[in-house]
Structure 1
Amino acid sequence: MANKYDVIVIGAGPGGMTAALYASRANLKVAMLDRGVYGGQMNNTAEVENYPGFKSILGPDLAEEMFQSSTQFGAEFVYGNVENVTVDEEGTKHVITDEGELVAPVVIIATGSQYRKLGVPGEDEYSGRGVSYCAVCDGAFYRDKPVAVIGGGDSAVEEGMYLANLTSEVNVIHRRDQLRAQKILQDRAFANDKMNFTWDTVVTEIVGDDKKVTGVKLHNKQTGEDSTMDVNGVFIYVGNIPMTEPFKELGITDDAGWILTDDHMQTQVPGIFAVGDVRAKFLRQITTAVGDASIAGQEAFAYIEALEK
């Protein structure tokens, strides 16, 4: 037998937790579904400085605060990996997971995105042996050793500065001639003596011995020069891809897989909403996910109210 709810929130990052808070506070029966620990990418973030109410807070601590808030009105946290979502003739949504089926008139998708890979030789081979996508998770393994950070956005610079507190040097390798990160982050990075910058350069291969990474092969796009940089760790931050595979058959994504919504977070399928990083949007931050989700949680209530009239 399927478990019945008023609202099923898929994903328990900042967007999912906020949607669950708003929907459950409206006295709706809410399931907040996730395949792992609540908090999403906040659990991999060393320090959050741009969330109102906190001058600075560790990502896992903010996740815990949000979870306690999101479940205070009865939202149920459910483990499960979503395999498929279908809609029957009556408009009921069926969420199929590896743990069973959940049904509800409303689904709010808050699955976020995952790290994009470079796709170069050695990346998969040395994953967990020198290749990482999370400085907070793995930075301590490279204490007093040189590392490379691939990318030039906010995540690359923020995680690079975190690594600078642990490692002997941080070599930021970027395919452009300037960073894309916020100006305040750039200023801090350029002022850090442990951070070096290699411009107009791409990684062509990650190399190592039988046990670990020993360096990266580089190609300068401007000069055509090839070189090798000796490092013990490679941290990759080259963008994200949406986690929308279970929803492709619903026809709610664009060509790149991001979910399309209107200003009410409504997709083209009535009763299915999307919030946070999984949406096609300009800025993907904790604050924007929370804003999206507050709208979706309230819209879920309005949608169910309309069904009952």
Structure 2
Amino acid sequence: MERNRVMILGTGPAGLTAAIYAARANLEPVVVEGNEPGGQLTLTTEVENFPGFRDGIMGPELMENMRQQAERFGAKFIHGWATAADLGQRPFRVTVNDEDVYETDALIISTGASAKMLGIPGESDLVGRGVSTCATCDGFFFRGKPILVVGGGDSAMEEATFLTKFASEVTIVHRRSELRASKVMQDRARNNPKIKWVMNVTPVSVQSDGSKVSGLEVKDNETGETRVLPAEGIFIAIGHRPNTDFLKGQLELDSVGYIKTRGVSSATSVEGVFACGDVMDPHYRQAITAAGSGCKAAMDVEKFLEGASVHDESVSAPAL
């Protein structure tokens, strides 16, 4: 059974940044690629808000550059995903692809969170060509165009309000007659003149003009009639699901399933296990914040392996 000093689960911006920092610290990290090597950015076309790229960069290219940078410093990559973990004692054991077992002295979990999708025809085929799950990431590309936001919670209201900065109009599509969002968020959306509403309908399929989104087919829940809502962008805002099922209750999670970390550190409820990126961040979900948390996790791991305590007080202001 192979034993490693550090294992990193996931290869999004958080996991790859952690790999870069850990490799540069001569920790020889072993990185498990995950279900979506490169994370959600591999589903994004152009990334314009990652610092250092004045003219933007394609999502898959950015992630490949980060991977090669980690490999340059000695990170080793394993194809597959973690299907089980035993965190009861050190060294921890991680099962990959239900068959290969690895031991590690420290573990960084950066398995991310997957956006919930509608699961209707045309949706997955048009991700990156009009279908999106991130208004902050992709809103700019729909300047002056009609947009639909599917959802009825706070996230949908927030995304719709944000998208009014770019779109010619934003239509909120919801399957019920009433919203789940808080009153404050509802009022903010309803008071925005650029937001329209289509309620009590069920999305049926995403329509295409052959190359990109052209509309959303919906069914009226009362009459059963279908119609197409024209749009050039469809933002799915029905929530995210953190990828923590394989942990089976071994770490402290919040009510949704996100990993809880200690104070400003990346330390979890199990000593020697650290978390970074979207798997512990239900709020920001940006590539740059994920990358920053990956840096923190690698630095915390280095301190831990040196015998230093990593907890709330482990990060203090430098002396002036």
TM class by shorter chain equals: 0.7 to 0.9
Pairs within 5 Å for 1:229-268: 229-230=227-228, 236-262=236-262, 263-268=264-269
State whether residues 169 and 195 of structure 2, in contact with CA within 8 Å, keep that contact through their aligned partners in structure 1. Answer: no
Whether the aligned pair in 1 keeps the contact of 2:244 and 2:279 (CA below 8 Å) is: yes
**Deviation at 1:255?**
1.8
Q: Quickly say closer, same or farther: Cα 1:35–1:280, change in 2 above 3 A.
A: closer
What code does the residue aligned with 1:294 have? C
Change (3 A) 1:7 1:182: farther
Instruction: Pick closer, same or farther for the CA change 1:184–1:242 going to 2, 3 Å.
Output: closer
**Who is 1:101 aligned against?**
101
Query: Any residues of structure 2 matched to 1:102-251 within 5 Å, and which?
Result: 102-118=102-118, 123=119, 126=120, 129-132=121-124, 135-136=127-128, 139=129, 154=135, 158=139, 161=142, 171-173=148-150, 175=152, 179-181=157-159, 185-190=163-168, 198-199=196-197, 201=199, 203-206=201-204, 215-218=217-220, 228-230=226-228, 236-251=236-251
**Whole-angstrom distance in 2 between the partners of 1:226 and 1:157:** 33
Question: Which residue identity does 2:111 align to in structure 1?
Answer: T
Q: Which residue identity does 2:288 align to in structure 1?
A: T
Runs of 4+ with deviation above 4 angstroms: 169-174, 176-179, 182-185, 224-227, 231-235
Equivalent pairs: percent with the same residue? 30
User: How far off is 1:248 after superposition?
Assistant: 2.7
The alignment's TM-score, normalised by the length of structure 1, stands at 0.75
Matches within 5 A, 1:279-294: 279-294=280-295
Aligned in 2, Cα 1:291/1:135: closer, same or farther, shift over 3 Å?
Answer: same
Conserved 8 A contact 2:109-2:276: yes
Aligned-residue CA RMSD (Å): 3.6
Alignment partner, residue 271 of structure 1: 272
CA deviations over 1:80-121 (Å, ceiling 9, x no partner): 2211111354x2110011240111110000000112134xxx
* CA–CA distance in structure 1, aligned partners of residues 255 and 71 of structure 2: 35
- AA aligned to 2:79 is Y
CA–CA distance in structure 1, aligned partners of residues 282 and 7 of structure 2: 23
Supply the AA of the counterpart residue of 1:14: P
Q: Deviation of residue 228 (structure 1)?
A: 3.5
SS at match of 2:267: coil
The unaligned stretches of length 5 or more in structure 2 are 171-193, 207-214, 309-320
- Count of residues in Structure 1 that have an aligned counterpart in Structure 2: 271
Unaligned runs of 5+ in 1: 140-146
